[in-house]
Amino acid sequence: MTKKPGCYAYKKGERAENLAEHLAGVARCCREHKLLAPVASKIARNYGLSKDYVEDMIVAACLLHDIGKADRKYQDLCLSSGCEEFSGHDVRGYKLAATALKRLEDSSRIAVNTGMADVLNIALLIPILMHHYFQRGIDNLRNDLDIIDEIDVHPQCIEDLHMVLELRTELFKNEYVENLVSTVLGLITDGRVRLVPVYRFASVPDLLNDLQSYTNLLQKHSAIAVTAILNECDGWVARVRRG
């Protein structure tokens, strides 16, 4: 997949990167990462889940990590002047994935127990939400979690993202993870989507309190390990593609 940038992951002067290519590149990097199997094995063993399921969930986080950049707010700026900063895209991506999970559960296509919900948070949602944490800080994150309640996917991104999300048959072995990515695809097709505030937490403050305290060391270390894989691949793909 080599596309002329039109739905942007980055644009500065003559340098630009297509969002669909960036997401596909990061997902493929994560799939081949040397730490994917050991990290997934440890999480799977502790929660009594299959290693393939956890691996697929981590790769899904990599595939979806920057999907919030497809919002019209950012893409209009990319087209008019340039875009290096996408403040809030992490929250939009987190809430889009959470909305897809909620729709899957509401449609009774999956029954999620406590262990699965924990893994969905530490292997998928938290890495998407926190992959720019050290650049943004907790106050900015709190503000965006409070005020962002929708994503308005730019029309030029819809076709591109359809193409990259079709990679699900190449990237994933687990049917539930494929269904999750298919549900995200359906939401993107809607263009403007009302987003759920959080997943499996009563409120935004509950989510943030959990992120800051993390009394469960297994969950904390697992989320950090997954986010490290994501960030290493994110940085590598960006360096290669943006020059």
Residue 191 buriedness (CB in 10 A; 0-12 / 13-18 / 19+): middle
Is position 24 within any domain? Answer: yes
For residue range 58-84, list pLDDT tens digits in order.
999 999 999 999 999 999 999 999 998
Does residue 14 lie within any of the structural domains?
yes
User: Does 184 or 110 have the greater pLDDT score?
Assistant: 184
For 163, the token pair is 């193409």
Q: % helix / strand / coil in the chain, to the nearest 5?
A: 70, 5, 25
What single-letter amino acid sits at 197? P
Task: Check: pTM over 0.95? Answer yes or no.
Answer: no
Which residues of 32-126 form beta strands (DSSP E)? none
Question: Would 235 be classed as within a structural domain?
Answer: yes
Q: Does 1 fall in a domain?
A: no
Cα(198)–Cα(139) distance, integer angstroms: 17
Whether residue 128 contacts residue 63, with contact meaning beta carbons closer than 8 Å, is answered with: no
The answer to the question of residue 3 being in a domain is: no
Q: Residue 119's domain spans which residues?
A: 8-242
Please report, to the nearest 10 degrees, the dihedral formed by the alpha carbons of residues 206, 231, 217, 61 taken in order: 60
Residue 134 belongs to domain with CATH number = 1.10.3210
On whether residue 88 sits in a domain, the answer given is yes
pLDDT per residue over 129-185, tens digit each? 999 876 677 888 889 999 999 999 999 999 889 888 888 888 999 999 999 999 999
* Domain membership flag for residue 2: no
In a domain? residue 195: yes
Domain count of the fold of the chain: 1
Residue 143 CA neighbour count, 13 Å, CB half: 7
